[in-house]
Amino acid sequence: MSSILTIFRDFFVHVCKSSNILLLLWCGLIAYVATFYLKKYPTKVYLVDFSCYKPDLACICSKEMFVQTCTGHFQNESIDFSRRILDRSGFGQKTCMPKSFFKIPQSICIAEARKETESVIFGAIDELLLKTKVQAKNIRIIITNCSIFNPTPSLSSMVVNHHKLRHNILSYNLSGMGCSAGLLAIDLAKQLLQVHPNSYALVVSTENITIGCYFGNDRSMLVSNCLFRMGGAAILLSNLSTDSSRSKYHLRHTIRTHKGSQDHSYNAIFQKDDETQKNIIGVALSKDLMNTAGDALKANISILGRYVLPLLEQLKFLSTSLVKKYFNTRMKLYTPNFKLAFEHFCIHTGGKAVQDEMQKILELSDWHLEPSRMTLYRSGNTSSSSVWYVLAYCEAKGRIKKGDRIWQIAFGSGFKCNSVVLCALRNIDQSRRITTHG
């Protein structure tokens, strides 16, 4: 009898061990399939809506008014230089400067810088929340970016405090990353939304003109002093499947390129002390800036092309690259036709020279460049938020149709070139307002 019990016991133990092994194998298989699926089919991220800030009419600054206000701060040669820069800038007569710029004497201090930033980001966020009908307490991720102005507490904390966001919000503040930081912030939000399900992410992009004013006579610093203008944008992203029906865009791709390992790229845009005047800081632009931007652009689109270009265009580019590398170094590389991949191009309004170079490299028509050129004319260079003003122009003109693909591209210090690819989920109603007055 005992031997029979022993046999049953041994059999039962064997079955249990086998079951554990099978269970472990099944769990491993399920984990592998789930991991493969998540990598191959990442969580979809939707751009619900966005809003661009439009300053008060009192902030409008014509080119003549800008030069007149600068009189008394600069030498006559610097004023003449600034006038020539503005004449070639592509600006209109209604770009905007902060109210501190018009004060006599001008007030360049933290308090005035805060006033400017608060009016811009609060105005843009308030309009965005009103349009989307999303309550502030439902936002789980907040990302702000501003290159020059970085107070304590941070700008992201400023938003949390003003809009009373949740206490466990994921808060990020990006600084010193230049005009491409807005698209970089979109990429960061996208990555965070991959691991935080059922969440809203709020991205706020701006630049502070008050604290960035330069009152020296170094021409390399005077250029940036002339080109930057007041502005900002707020963007709401979501990974909720229920938002697919009401969102404007699907966020397809984000491509980041950083050329900072090269000294000439790293020094292309550099904040430093004025060597001729004490206690004055400015942002210097190198004479090699356009070549640096061109190199960063080529590196960025070589990666982007793999995801968006038709196979034939990729083969043409690859074949000429191989020929140039191994057989004929003088051969010109084939420039892919990105007009086959995108209907709209939202190019950073860094200046007329930047736009001309982009049009030349990408072989774009005047129609494709019109949104960027008109945004530069109306708003100037609003830094990291400029690509959203360009997209707002496309919407206002009724250009965006369901299924259209949009390429946003921006350059920034470091040196960086970042791209974002959007796909319109519906026809955008051109009668809807995108901008908000402060």
Tabulate helix, strand, coil % of the chain (nearest 5).
50, 20, 30
Catalytic residue among 96, 344, 368, 394: 344
Give the residue from 357, 360, 321, 364 showing the smallest Cα distance to 342: 364
Catalytic residue among 52, 96, 146, 179: 179
Catalytic residue among 59, 70, 96, 348: 348
DSSP alpha helix (H) spans, 166-244: 181-195, 219-227
Maximal CA-CA distance, the chain: 114
Is 162 among the catalytic positions? Answer: no
Rg of the chain on CA atoms, in Å: 26
How do beta strands 416-424 and 249-258 pair?
A: antiparallel
Catalytic residue among 208, 239, 381, 418: 381
Is 179 among the catalytic positions? Answer: yes
Is the Cβ–Cβ distance between 55 and 96 less than 8 Å? yes
Interatomic CA distance for residues 48 and 388, integer angstroms:
14
State the burial class of residue 311 (Cβ atoms within 10 Å of its Cβ: 0-12, 13-18, 19+).
exposed
Give the residue from 175, 235, 182, 200 showing the smallest Cα distance to 52: 235
Interatomic CA distance for residues 384 and 232, integer angstroms:
8
Structural element, H or E, at residue 119 = helix 110-132
Is 344 among the catalytic positions? Answer: yes
Catalytic residue among 52, 146, 208, 258: 258
Is 437 among the catalytic positions? Answer: no
Which positions are catalytic?
Answer: 179, 258, 344, 348, 381
